[in-house]
């Protein structure tokens, strides 16, 4: 029986391994993590992450061929294939701080693999890492290997949070990079055999190691760049009276451009886009390519600008001050169908409004209230760390209250900011909400989810990203 061990039971390691276990019943899959509460949660009825469809998959396989354990070394030692899916945040100190990837977790995982291994292994980079990381990992493994053969593969993950299970069941492509040597090619074939259980072979792309590593950074950079491009257009739309939805529709009809990922918003978030672009910027700089670095840097700058622009619009619309005014925040997760708040644009927007002394009443259907409080009371550098390593500020943000209901959030409020595109925000009883609010009542739709005409008819003053302004 082939044994797989995955180091890191997070947003990638957990769902990916659950799907491998489901699709490959003859393979034993153990997901390990040093963060015990996460492992306890994976073994309970309350999984540590929210992802549509995940619970069914886990329940089907857990205890049969899918296991979650804190016994990291034991399961790594027993595995034939070791996936490494640990976090790779942005470095906060030292050389490359603020841009380079922090590979501390990766390096300690690699050293541990070398220490405990007694048989040959395939080591798979599942985390997103800088191009050429495999070279460093190979050095660490071979210099500590005591005669054991390690083959390194790059198999970056392209799932998107919120649709992870769907993406894993039906991936656009699976990418496997390896050495061109016979041993490297044999390792590629072994991993290909795992995915071939459910992924059509023409969608399994095999490349050299560096192409696979760089493709992941490139894919995230292209996706984020598309969002920043449409957001940059949204600013111009507001200035000219054009409507960004109409512009997106028109340009998306060009088959060379295509219609996906063209929704204007308050900005992109999530743990990956910003960190991966900054990492790309750093790699370009290290390779003597400052103009290329500047090009990608601009994608992040536009994203920051979009949040600032949104906050400025809220404050200027509300008669140039939100001091002491209650503002309901609809949505805190970085996108719908996830409870993940890493790098969510909601943090920047809320902090901007708090800076102008607004009183915020925040509602998100999936994000725990303590998490919102913690995110808002933390320094930016803390947010780059995984949750269990963050220093939780003891000072609760007095201007913030978190509620479990959109109607509660809006009672007596002067305005509403929609920051996550949860479906339920489309179908709320906005007449009832309007009746309970201060007048004039404002809606600032950072995701273009509401029916602007309907809300204006009720009496709201509505601002939607990239849309003609209220008269
Ligand atoms: P995460 O923080 O949710 O999970 C990482 C886990 O690794 C944590 O639970 C941590 O405790 C554990 N860990 C760290 N060091 C360890 C060690 N030495 N031994 C055992 N466990 C250890 O991170 P994530 O969101 O799952 O992302 C993992 C990687 O995948 C990152 O490189 C990320 O960029 C990449 N990625 C993420 C996504 C996404 O949507 N989240 C998508 C594609 C790729």
pLDDT digits (tens, 9 = 90+) for 31-89: 999 999 999 999 999 999 999 999 999 999 999 999 999 999 999 999 999 999 999 99
Q: Which of 5, 11, 126 for a ligand 1 pocket mutation test, highest count of atoms within 8 Å of Cβ? A: 11
User: Over the stretch 219-263, which tens digit does the pLDDT of each residue have?
Assistant: 999 999 999 999 999 999 999 999 999 999 999 999 999 999 999
What pLDDT digit, counting tens, does each position of 128-167 carry?
999 999 999 999 999 998 889 999 999 999 999 999 999 9
Q: Which protein residues are within 6 Å of ligand 1, measured from CB? A: 7-13, 32-35, 38, 72, 85-88, 105, 108-109, 127-128, 157, 159, 161, 271-272, 386
Q: Would you say residue 49 lies in a domain?
A: yes
Last residue of a domain, one of 170, 199, 228: 199
User: In the chain, what percentage of residues exceed pLDDT 70?
Assistant: 95
Which residues, including other chains, have CB under 8 Å from residue 328's CB and lie 6 or more apart?
Answer: 360, 361, 362, 363, 406, 409, 410, 413, 415, 416, 417
The reply to whether 289 and 413 lie within a common domain is yes
Within a domain: 209: no
User: Are 188 and 266 members of one domain?
Assistant: no
> Ligand 1, closest atom to CA 105?
15
Rounded to the nearest angstrom, the distance between the alpha carbon of 414 and the centre of ligand 1 is: 40
Tokens read off for 33: 């993590």
Per-residue pLDDT at 410: 98
Asked whether residue 397 carries a pLDDT value surpassing 80, the answer given is no
Interface ipTM: 0.99
* Encoded tokens for 35: 């963060």
Q: Based on the domain organization, do 248 and 191 belong to the same domain?
A: no
Average pLDDT over residues 351-377: 93
Q: What are the tokens at 15?
A: 């769902």
* Residues 187, 267 within the same domain: no
Is 208 contained in some domain? no
Query: Angle at Cα 240 formed by Cα 238 and Cα 243, nearest 5°?
Result: 55
pLDDT greater than 70 at residue 471 = no
- Is 332 exposed, middle or buried (CB count within 10 Å of its CB: 0-12, 13-18, 19+)? buried
Cα 219 to middle of ligand 1, angstroms: 18
pLDDT band at 398 (very low <50, low <70, confident <90, very high): confident
Cis peptide before 407 (omega within 30 of 0): no
- The closest of 419, 422, 454, 416 to 438, measured between CA atoms, is 416
Nearest residue by C-alpha to atom 11 in ligand 1: 35
Secondary-structure breakdown of the chain: helix, strand, coil percentages, each rounded to the nearest 5: 45, 15, 40
The alpha carbon of 33 and the centre of ligand 1 are apart by a number of angstroms equal to 10
Residue ending a domain, among 199, 228, 258, is: 199
**DSSP β-ladder status, 326-330 and 400-403:** unpaired
Nearest-CA neighbor of 270 among 337, 333, 363?
Answer: 333
Residue 376 lies in a domain: yes
For the stretch 270-324, pLDDT in tens is 999 999 999 999 999 999 999 999 999 999 999 999 999 999 999 999 999 999 9
Mutation test residue for ligand 1: of 6, 7, 12, the one with most atoms within 8 Å of CB: 12
Residues 254 and 345 in one domain: yes
Q: Is 405 found in the same domain as 349?
A: yes
> In ligand 1, which atom is closest to the CA atom of 387?
2
For residue 368, being part of any structural domain is answered with yes
Q: How far apart are CA 51 and CA 66, in angstroms?
A: 18
Whether 169 is in a domain gets the answer: yes
In angstroms, what is the span from residue 106 Cα to ligand 1's centroid?
Answer: 10
CATH number (domain holding residue 423): 3.40.50.720
For residue 112, the tally of other CB atoms under 10 A from its CB is 17
CA 149 – CA 145 distance, rounded (Å)? 7
Please, which pLDDT band fits residue 392 given cuts at 50, 70 and 90? very low
Average pLDDT for the chain: 95
pLDDT at 394: 39
Q: Are residues 186 and 283 in the same domain?
A: no
> Is 207 labelled a binding residue?
no
Query: Is 231 part of any known ligand binding site?
Result: no
- Closest C-alpha among 233, 141, 258, 250 to residue 466: 233
Give the Cα separation of 85 and 31 in Å (integer).
10
Which of 6, 16, 272 should be mutated for ligand 1, with most atoms under 8 A from CB? 272
Phi and psi, residue 152, nearest 5°: -100, 135
Do the domain assignments include residue 434? yes
Tell how far the Cα of 272 is from the centroid of ligand 1, in angstroms. 11
394 is in an annotated binding site: no
Token representation of residue 5: 């061990």
What are the tokens at 285?
A: 């700089």
d(CA 238, CA 465): 8
Is residue 162 in some structural domain?
A: yes
Is 161 marked as binding a ligand? Answer: yes
Residues 153 and 268 in one domain: no
Does 128 show up as a binding residue in the annotation?
yes
The reply to whether 92 sits in an annotated binding site is: no
Task: Tell the residue nearest (CA) to atom 18 of ligand 1.
Answer: 109
Establish whether 13 is an annotated binding residue: yes
* pLDDT of residue 216 exceeding 50: yes
Nearest C-alpha to atom 14 of ligand 1 is from which residue? 86
The confidence score (pLDDT) of residue 312 equals 97
The domain in which residue 98 lies consists of 3-199
183 and 122 in one domain?
A: yes
Same domain, 261 and 149: no
Average pLDDT over residues 356-373: 94
| Residue nearest to ligand 1 atom 1, measured at CA | 10
Among 75, 301, 52, 74, smallest CA distance to 164 is for 52
Q: Does residue 386 register a pLDDT over 70?
A: no
Q: Which protein residue has the closest C-alpha to ligand 1 atom 4?
A: 10
pLDDT at 395: 40
Catalytic machinery residues: 272
Shared domain check, 308 and 246:
yes
Q: How many Å lie between the centroid of ligand 1 and the Cα of residue 210?
A: 21
**Percent of all residues in the chain with a pLDDT value above 90, rounded to a whole number:** 93
Same domain, 190 and 301: no
Of the residues 143, 167, 199, which one is the last residue of a structural domain? Answer: 199
Of ligand 1's listed atoms, the one at least distance from the Cα of 386 is 2
CA of 397 to the centre of ligand 1 (A): 29
Structural domains in the chain (count): 2
Residue 381 has a pLDDT of 55
Measure the CA–CA gap between 164 and 168, rounded to whole angstroms: 6
């Amino acid at each position: 029986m082939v044994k797989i061990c995955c180091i890191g039971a997070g947003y990638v390691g957990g769902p990916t391994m659950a799907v491998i276990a489901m699709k490959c019943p003859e393979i034993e899959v153990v997901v390990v993590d040093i963060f015990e509460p996460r492992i306890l949660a994976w073994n309970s009825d309350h999984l540590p992450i929210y992802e549509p469809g995940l619970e069914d998959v886990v329940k089907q396989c857990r205890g049969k061929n899918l296991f979650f354990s804190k016994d990291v070394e034991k399961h790594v030692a027993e595995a034939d294939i070791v996936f490494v899916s640990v976090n790779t945040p942005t470095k906060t100190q030292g050389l490359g701080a603020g841009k380079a990837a922090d590979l501390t977790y990766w390096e300690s995982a690699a050293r541990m693999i070398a220490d405990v291994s007694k048989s040959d292994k395939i080591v798979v980079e599942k985390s997103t890492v800088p191009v050429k990381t495999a070279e460093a990992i190979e050095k660490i493994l071979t210099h500590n290997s005591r005669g054991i053969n390690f083959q390194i593969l790059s198999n970056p993950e392209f799932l998107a949070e919120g649709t992870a299970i769907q993406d894993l069941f039906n991936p656009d492509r699976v990418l496997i990079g390896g050495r061109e040597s016979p041993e490297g090619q044999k390792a590629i074939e072994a991993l290909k055999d795992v995915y071939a259980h459910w992924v059509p072979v023409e969608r399994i792309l095999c490349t050299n190691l560096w192409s696979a590593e760089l493709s992941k950074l490139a894919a995230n950079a292209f996706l984020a760049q598309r969002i920043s491009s449409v957001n940059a257009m949204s600013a111009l739309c507001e200035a000219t009276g054009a409507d960004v939805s109409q512009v997106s529709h028109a340009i998306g009809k060009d088959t060379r451009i295509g219609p996906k990922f063209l929704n204007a918003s308050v900005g992109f978030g999530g743990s990956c886009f910003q960190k991966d672009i900054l990492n790309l910027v750093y790699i370009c700089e290290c390779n003597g390519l400052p103009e290329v670095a500047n090009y990608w840097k601009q994608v992040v700058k536009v994203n920051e600008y979009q949040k600032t622009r949104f906050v400025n619009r809220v404050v200027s619309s509300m008669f140039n001050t939100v001091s002491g005014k209650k503002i309901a925040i609809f949505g805190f997760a970085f996108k719908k169908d996830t409870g993940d708040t890493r790098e969510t644009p909601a943090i920047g927007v809320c902090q901007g409004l708090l800076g102008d002394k607004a009183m915020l009443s925040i509602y998100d259907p999936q994000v725990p209230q303590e998490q919102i409080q913690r995110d808002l009371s933390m320094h930016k550098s803390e947010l780059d760390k995984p949750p269990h390593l963050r220093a939780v500020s003891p000072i609760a943000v007095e201007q913030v209250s978190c509620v479990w209901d959109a109607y509660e959030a809006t009672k007596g409020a002067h305005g509403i900011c929609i920051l996550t595109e949860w479906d339920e925000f489309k179908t709320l009883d906005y007449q009832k909400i309007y009746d309970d609010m201060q007048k004039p009542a404002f809606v600032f739709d950072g995701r273009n989810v509401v029916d602007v005409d309907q809300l204006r008819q009720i009496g709201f003053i509505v601002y939607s990203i990239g849309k003609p302004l209220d008269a």
